[in-house]
Amino acid sequence: MKQAWEKTAGQIAQVFREIREQKPLIHMLPNTVSAALCADGLSALGARPLMAVDAREMQEITEQSDASVVNLGQPSQEKMKAAEQLLKYAAGFGKPLVLDPVGCGASHFRLHEVQKLLALPWKGIVKGNCSELYSIQQNRLTKEGIDAVEKRELSLKIPEGRLYFVTGQTDYMIWDGRKQELIRPCEIRKKNRYNIVGSGCLAGAVTGACCSVTVRQRQEQAYALAAWAASLGMAYALEQAGRASGYGSAKTLVLDELSHLAEPHFKEWLLQ
């Protein structure tokens, strides 16, 4: 058990070192609430953020990007058209994809549009909280908010080529017909003392950066490794931000700590 975890921890730490070295271009279709935080977070990791929003740009932007993240917060007809184009082109170019169905259980419009996007043929990660993913699986509204923490039982049956990255106090992933918690051996739950607005969107951006290196190198179980790295990278940053004296400094400290994930003390934290 210990030897297996040491190997996994080494792989996770290596993901962030490779992001720092390779400086991947990450295209994110953002929402304005969290766009700046996500761009800063990607830059802190060593990635290069790009946030094109017009459907007419999606082919060219997607082709030159190393990974794409579709954040569906603040949906509109124009945004959904851009998201559809992005997913189609990313699938065609074989680019890594992360879809974040923000608040999809809040309205019929959101849920309907998300289901249309999920019906398209693409491979990648669907990242959301349990409530959002439950809405998708059951095709019903939950109206619990984007920061919902209520636990719901999710089906392990998901489309082939997809991985569900389920965020909450304890993150987990569903893939290949099984469920796996994304924690260190010594850890029970993730700490987010200040409940920073946009931290979920930031997790999606970090996941995209992780995918850009794991998928490019054709690593075995590339999406699973990317989700695990993003989960523990965010857990580390949020835990360290708990030392802050208030909300504003905590937000800054999260970005500072993301910039340190390529350094040895992150791996040391993983092995505690």
Where is average pLDDT lowest: 164-178, 184-198, 226-240? 184-198
pLDDT at 25 over 90: yes
> Which phi and psi angles does 133 have, rounded to 5°?
-70, -30
Backbone torsion region of residue 159, taken as left when φ is above 0, otherwise alpha when ψ lies between -120 and 50, otherwise beta: beta
CA atoms in the 13 A half-sphere facing the CB of 59: 1
Q: Which residue has the higher pLDDT, 245 or 184?
A: 245
Cα(162)–Cα(258) distance, rounded to whole angstroms? 26
Cα(183)–Cα(190) distance, rounded to whole angstroms? 8
- Report the pLDDT value the prediction gives residue 234, as an integer from 0 to 100: 96
Average pLDDT over residues 233-240: 95
pLDDT at 143 over 90: no
Q: How much of the chain exceeds pLDDT 70, in percent?
A: 93
Q: Which residue has the higher pLDDT, 217 or 87?
A: 87
pLDDT at 125 over 60: yes
- Report the pLDDT value the prediction gives residue 132, as an integer from 0 to 100: 96
pLDDT at 197 over 90: yes
- Report the pLDDT value the prediction gives residue 189, as an integer from 0 to 100: 56
Find, among 120, 123, 124, 101, the residue nearest to 111 by Cα.
101
pLDDT at 157 over 60: yes
Domain boundaries, the chain: 2-270
Residue 125: helix, strand or coil by DSSP?
Answer: strand
Average pLDDT, the chain: 93
Could you read off the pLDDT of 53-69 as tens digits, one per residue?
999 999 999 999 999 99
Cα(269)–Cα(272) distance, rounded to whole angstroms? 5
- Report the pLDDT value the prediction gives residue 190, as an integer from 0 to 100: 64
Determine the residue type at 208: G
Confidence of residue 216 (pLDDT cuts 50, 70, 90): confident
Where is average pLDDT lowest: 15-24, 126-135, 187-196, 238-247? 187-196
pLDDT at 129 over 90: yes
pLDDT at 137 over 70: yes
Q: Where are the beta strands (DSSP E) in the chain?
A: 25-29, 48-50, 67-71, 97-100, 124-129, 162-167, 172-175, 178-181
Distances (CA, A) of 230 to 121, 169, 201, 226: 24, 14, 12, 6
pLDDT at 152 over 90: no
How many residues belong to the chain?
Answer: 272
Q: Which residue has the higher pLDDT, 189 or 67?
A: 67
pTM (2 d.p.) = 0.95
Domain 2-270 sits in which CATH superfamily? Ribokinase (3.40.1190.20)
Determine the residue type at 257: E
